[in-house]
Structure 1
Amino acid sequence: MQRASLSIPTNIAEGFNRFHNKEYKQFLYIALGSCAELETQIEIATELNYINEENKKIILEKINHESRMRNHGIDYRSHRWNCKW
């Protein structure tokens, strides 16, 4: 879980410093995948009784918020950079 959670901001930062928009979007997709990975690990941790249902709900809400932000960033860059001006 620690690796997946650290991967999210790390990939965003790395992508931000790339020259091309396509590269940045690719790193946003990787961060989005790490969100899904973390969500799965939280579900497993709950099944194994490492995390209670209340904490699971709080954590998953934060992960879902982060995922929506990544999707918004990907959509924004797709539309913004594909404009024909």
Structure 2
Amino acid sequence: MTPAKTYQDLRVWQSAHAFVIEVYACTRSFPKDELFGLTAQLRRSAVSVPSNIVEGFGRWSDKDKVKFYNIAEASLAEADYQLFLAQELNYSDTATARNTALDTKKLLAAFIKSIRP
């Protein structure tokens, strides 16, 4: 496999980016009174996933890389719960975004495993 030249070459980043796009799409239908509540929090946690992948990609040491990839994992878990909550509150159908979150979680776990000895 050819090493990634940019973060955009990473499959895990591509999946995380697609996840953010899906989160923004599904939060458009959230109630307006959630704009500064669940909508904002979910969007922030979703954006944190690819952002931390990018930051990790830019680090030199494997230890630093894994640190940021672990933060991305935690943000993904947070966003997944928030999507679950939105579904329970009948704000939106979050199934597509949650499926992408699961795919991203698997890719991220494998990516981290490939870096750790």
TM-score over 0.5 for the pair? yes
Q: Which of 27, 36, 60 is residue 19 of structure 1 equivalent to?
A: 60
| Counterpart AA for 1:40 | Y
Structure 1 runs (4+) deviating above 6 angstroms are none
Q: Distance between the aligned counterparts of 2:50 and 2:67, measured in 1?
A: 14
Q: Secondary structure of 1:29's match?
A: helix
What TM-score do you get using the length of structure 1 for normalisation?
0.84
Q: Which residue of 2 aligns with 1:51?
A: 92
Question: For 1:40, which of 81, 97, 100 is the aligned residue?
Answer: 81
Q: Give per-residue Cα distances to partners, 1:26-60, cap 9 Å, x unaligned.
A: 111110111100100001101111013xxx22111
Instruction: Judging by fraction of residues, say which structure has more helix.
Output: 1
In structure 2, list runs of 5 or more residues that go unmatched: 1-41
Q: Percent identity?
A: 30
Gaps of 5+ in 1: none
The TM-score, its normalising length taken from structure 2, stands at 0.62
The alignment of Structure 1 onto Structure 2 pairs a total of residues equal to 76
The equivalent position to 2:115 in structure 1, one of 74, 77, 80, is 77
